[in-house]
Structure 1
Amino acid sequence: MKLSAGDKVLRGIIYVLLTLLAFVTFYPFWNSLVLSFNVGSDTTLGGVTFWPRKFTLENYAIVFKESQIFQAYFVTIMRTLLGTLLAMFFTSLFAYAMSKKDILFKKFYMVAAVFTMFFNGGLIPYFILVYVIGLYDTFTFLLVHGMVSVYNMIIFRTFFMGLPDGLEESAKIDGCSNFGVFFRIVLPVSGPVFATLSLFSAVFLWNDWFTPAVFINNQNLIPLQTLLVQIINAGTTATLMSNLNTYAQSMVASTVTVKALQMATMMVATLPILLIYPFLQKYFVKGVLIGSLKE
């Protein structure tokens, strides 16, 4: 179809605006990446924008020589993997029960679950509860916290309600129990929704820094994002050096600055999820479509 002069002008304006929006969105990340590869003492002089003025790998050398970085990586990976598995298991079981029309007190359970999406007991009562039951400062708490998501449960429930009734009826005729139907029939045909919500949960667990900052005191259990926040909040070189090993302290004392080390640590913490996300973005779209279906 041939475009008129007005359409071409409008399309050109749209392209320019989208280009500017993409630049504004991407540039802060690119500049942080550039600063992470630039000599810290040179960065303090200003003027480092699109390319490193004095290229160096010293910032990353400090980051990767810190054993705490690898420990935090390990905690984050284990929390993301195990936490996602547990969340999918318990949330899907809850949703499967809520998708049944004949369940007793179903309306009450749904109202009680949705109520928690808008109201909670507050941080202090929750902290007291976690401390009293012995989960404070434990890895178990990192797995249990947020194990059942009402939002994800509603998406699961919507998907399960769209499955043909004949699938479950034929399985029950063959002698399957409710658990047998769920594990042998429902789970194998629910790959799309499981992939979608697993991605939701994994991204949340990977990026969650606030919960460990409040409920975890043991530095060996600190996830990567929480450690990143601690480094970013180290506003002075003295504060930062107090948490570094001897090699890192000598480097910071020479050319590396707090800003440069913050940028390098931020790149190490965020690049893995940024590299994975583009390949899995389609599942986010599927999740929105699944959740938009009505009964």
Structure 2
Amino acid sequence: MNLKAAKGDLDSKIFDTINIILLVTFTIIIVVPLWNVVVSSFSSGRSLAEGGFIFWPTEFSLENYQAVFRDASIWNAFFISVAKTVIGVITHVFFCAMVGYGLSKKYVRGRKFYVSMGVVTMFFSGGMIPTYLLMKDLGLLNSFWVYIIPALLSFYDVIILMNFFRNVPDSLEESAKIDGGGDWRIFLSIFIPLSMPAMATIALFNGVGQWNDFMTTKLYITDQSLYPLQMMLYEIIVQSQTQSMQNIGSVAIQTTTKGVQLATIVVTTLPIVVMYPILQRYFISGMMLGAVKE
């Protein structure tokens, strides 16, 4: 028994050591490039022009961020990104919750047909050109609502909420009906508060998707006043990488396109990094939905 226990302890130590080495390696692989982007964004144009990996800025400078924040189009793009993310998340979660609530009721006529049709949309789409023609016929080209209306429904999220609503005790709904509550009152007062972990998880995923989306803009928007931050970042990336003098307002700032690009990356990523810890507890609870069955 002692030999087996000793062998077990040795195997456990080897396993733990390998795990630690792998986790530290993966952490370094993930953190180092992010650190390089952040540090490089605070470096001067001269340091960036020299090239190479920057672990710490040799010439600390805020020129890149001045170039970003003094550009009026960046502020407008930031407003568009925030607006489409906030409105898109609220409408998406609420719309999916309404559909999921209806489909969670077994007495709804045609429920199986609606669920089957919804599942089909998870695997097949109309394609890029038919979707473009549809957006054109709906009058959504060069419209802010092209960010909102097509993203109202995701049947994957509907299934998550539908399964969550099924776990709500029927006694709660029955008691609410006895007290005179209608479907809307029951939905808003009982099911919505009880489903906050699931809804927060969906909101986080959808919010990240809305914030990072630039393909919608590239396909359906030509009006630059409707460009979000990600499209502005895309425009910066495709620009020339040569060093240039940029006149921003009344101040001439020596910078590079790469420096402005890095600063824009930090600015566009920061809001999601700030929001994640706030929603993390809901995110963990939501991810555990259905993982354990009592």
Taking structure 2 as the reference length, the TM-score comes to: 0.90
User: CA–CA distance in 2 between the matches of 1:279 and 1:8?
Assistant: 36
Task: Write out aligned runs for 1:16-95 (5 A).
Answer: 16-95=21-100
Q: Select which of 217, 222, 229 maps to 1:224.
A: 229
CA, structure 1 residues 280+174, in 2 after alignment: closer, same or farther (shift >3 Å)?
closer
Instruction: For 1:206, give the aligned amino acid.
Output: W
| Deviations 1:147-178 (CA, angstroms, capped at 9, x unpaired) | 11111101100110000001111122222222
CA, structure 1 residues 99+229, in 2 after alignment: closer, same or farther (shift >3 Å)?
same
CA, structure 1 residues 248+42, in 2 after alignment: closer, same or farther (shift >3 Å)?
farther
CA positional deviation for 1:246: 4.5
Instruction: For 1:278, give the aligned amino acid.
Output: P
CA positional deviation for 1:117: 0.7
Moved more, 270-279 or 161-170: 270-279
User: CA–CA distance in 2 between the matches of 1:189 and 1:101?
Assistant: 20
Name the counterpart of 1:265: 264
| Deviations 1:191-227 (CA, angstroms, capped at 9, x unpaired) | 2222222222222211112112211111111111121
Residue ranges of structure 1 left out of the alignment (5+ in a row): none
Q: Does 1:180 align with 2:224?
A: no
Confirm or deny: 8 A CA contact 1:36 1:264 kept in the other structure. Answer: yes
CA positional deviation for 1:233: 1.8
CA positional deviation for 1:96: 0.4
Confirm or deny: 8 A CA contact 2:85 2:207 kept in the other structure. Answer: yes
Taking structure 1 as the reference length, the TM-score comes to: 0.90
Confirm or deny: 8 A CA contact 1:36 1:59 kept in the other structure. Answer: yes
CA positional deviation for 1:45: 1.4
Instruction: For 2:256, give the aligned amino acid.
Output: T
User: CA–CA distance in 1 between the matches of 2:210 and 2:292?
Assistant: 26
Counting aligned pairs with the same residue, the percent is: 39
Q: Does 1:148 align with 2:147?
A: no
Is the strand fraction higher in 1 or 2? 2
Name the counterpart of 2:111: 106
| Deviations 1:213-271 (CA, angstroms, capped at 9, x unpaired) | 21111111111112111111213449x98xx76549942xxx31111111111111111
| Deviations 1:11-69 (CA, angstroms, capped at 9, x unpaired) | 23321221111000111111011111111222221234210111111111100101111
Residue ranges of structure 2 left out of the alignment (5+ in a row): none
CA positional deviation for 1:291: 5.4
Moved more, 184-193 or 129-138: 184-193
CA, structure 1 residues 279+250, in 2 after alignment: closer, same or farther (shift >3 Å)?
same
CA positional deviation for 1:279: 3.7
Q: Select which of 178, 191, 203 maps to 2:208.
A: 203
CA positional deviation for 1:186: 1.8
Name the counterpart of 2:280: 281
Aligned residues: 288
User: CA–CA distance in 1 between the matches of 2:110 and 2:121?
Assistant: 17
Confirm or deny: 8 A CA contact 1:71 1:220 kept in the other structure. Answer: yes
Confirm or deny: 8 A CA contact 1:38 1:53 kept in the other structure. Answer: yes
Other structure's SS at 2:105 match: coil
CA positional deviation for 1:99: 0.1
Instruction: For 1:87, give the aligned amino acid.
Output: H
CA, structure 1 residues 154+249, in 2 after alignment: closer, same or farther (shift >3 Å)?
farther
Other structure's SS at 1:256 match: strand
Name the counterpart of 1:137: 142
Other structure's SS at 1:63 match: helix
Confirm or deny: 8 A CA contact 1:113 1:150 kept in the other structure. Answer: yes
Q: CA RMSD in A?
A: 2.4
Higher relative contact order (CA 8 A, sep 6+): 1
Q: Does 1:164 align with 2:169?
A: yes
User: CA–CA distance in 2 between the matches of 1:245 and 1:136?
Assistant: 33
CA, structure 1 residues 6+167, in 2 after alignment: closer, same or farther (shift >3 Å)?
closer
